[in-house]
Amino acid sequence: MGEDKRLAAVVALAQGMAAARTPPESWQAAALGACRALDGGFAALSVWERGMGRLRVLVNVGDRRPDEEEFPEAETYPVHQFPEITEFLHERWAGGGGANAWVETAEGTAAGTPGYFHHRVAALRRRGRGCCVVAPVVLHGRAWGELYVARGVRAPVFGPDDAGFATVLAAVVAAGLAQSERLEEARRLAFTDALTGLANRRAVDVHLEEAVERHRAEGVVVSLVVCDLNGLKHVNDTLGHAVGDRLLERFGSVLSLCGAMVPGALAARLGGDEFCLLAVGPPVDDVVEAAGELCRRAGELEPGEGVACGVASTADAIGEVGDARRLFRLADAAQYRAKALRADRPVVAGREGPEDPVVRLADEPPHLAPAERRRFRGRRP
- The whole-number pLDDT of residue 369 equals 46
On whether residue 376 sits in a domain, the answer given is no
Residue 317 predicted with pLDDT over 80? yes
Instruction: Assess whether 170 and 251 both reside in one domain.
Output: no
Instruction: Assess whether 148 and 216 both reside in one domain.
Output: no
Nearest Cα to 297, choosing from 332, 243, 256, 240?
A: 256
On whether residue 370 sits in a domain, the answer given is no
CA distance to 196, 238, 319, 329, 342, per residue, from 326 (Å)? 27, 37, 10, 5, 24
pLDDT tens digit string along 118-135? 778 888 999 999 999 999
User: Of 154, 174, 189, at which residue does a domain stop?
Assistant: 189
Is residue 363 very low, low, confident or very high in pLDDT (cuts 50, 70, 90)? Answer: confident
Residue 206 predicted with pLDDT over 80? yes
Domain count, the chain: 2
Residue 88 predicted with pLDDT over 60? no
- Helix (H) or strand (E) segment spanning residue 207: helix 201-218
On whether residue 373 sits in a domain, the answer given is no
Asked if 61 and 72 count as a contact pair (C-beta separation under 8 A), the reply is no
Asked if 358 and 333 count as a contact pair (C-beta separation under 8 A), the reply is yes
Q: What letter represents residue 41's amino acid?
A: G
Instruction: Assess whether 216 and 250 both reside in one domain.
Output: yes
pLDDT tens digit string along 18-46? 999 889 999 999 999 999 999 999 999 99
- Helix (H) or strand (E) segment spanning residue 361: helix 357-363
Give the burial class of 217: count Cβ atoms within 10 A of its Cβ; 0-12 exposed, 13-18 middle, 19 or more buried: exposed
DSSP state of 192: B
Instruction: Assess whether 51 and 130 both reside in one domain.
Output: yes
Length of the chain: 381
Average pLDDT over residues 367-377: 42
Instruction: Assess whether 238 and 178 both reside in one domain.
Output: no
- The whole-number pLDDT of residue 51 equals 78
Greater confidence (201 vs 4) lies with: 201
User: Of 138, 165, 189, at which residue does a domain stop?
Assistant: 189
- Average the pLDDT over each of 88-102, 131-145, 280-294, 364-378 and give the range with the smallest value: 364-378
Average pLDDT over residues 97-118: 69
On whether residue 114 sits in a domain, the answer given is yes
On whether residue 375 sits in a domain, the answer given is no
Q: DSSP letters of 254-293?
A: HHHHHHTTSTTPEEEEEETTEEEEEEESS-HHHHHHHHHH
Its domain, for residue 210, covers 192-363
| Percent of the residues in the chain that have a pLDDT greater than 90, as a whole number | 68
- The whole-number pLDDT of residue 97 equals 54
Average pLDDT over residues 254-282: 94
Task: State the CB neighbour count (10 A cutoff) for residue 23.
Answer: 14
Instruction: Assess whether 256 and 346 both reside in one domain.
Output: yes
CATH number, residue 18: 3.30.450.40
User: Of 146, 174, 189, at which residue does a domain stop?
Assistant: 189
Greater confidence (147 vs 82) lies with: 147
Instruction: Assess whether 275 and 355 both reside in one domain.
Output: yes
CA distance 85 to 290: 47
Instruction: Assess whether 180 and 232 both reside in one domain.
Output: no
pLDDT tens digit string along 323-360? 999 999 999 999 999 999 999 999 999 998 888 999 99
- The whole-number pLDDT of residue 49 equals 87
Instruction: Assess whether 226 and 138 both reside in one domain.
Output: no
CATH number, residue 326: 3.30.70.270
Look at residue 39 and give its three-state secondary structure. Answer: coil
- The whole-number pLDDT of residue 84 equals 64
Task: State the CB neighbour count (10 A cutoff) for residue 60.
Answer: 23
Asked if 286 and 261 count as a contact pair (C-beta separation under 8 A), the reply is yes
Instruction: Assess whether 48 and 70 both reside in one domain.
Output: yes
Residue 90 predicted with pLDDT over 60? no
Instruction: Assess whether 158 and 264 both reside in one domain.
Output: no
On whether residue 380 sits in a domain, the answer given is no
On whether residue 221 sits in a domain, the answer given is yes
Nearest Cα to 148, choosing from 42, 54, 63, 72?
A: 42
Residue 94 predicted with pLDDT over 70? no
CA distance 133 to 183: 29
Instruction: Assess whether 353 and 218 both reside in one domain.
Output: yes
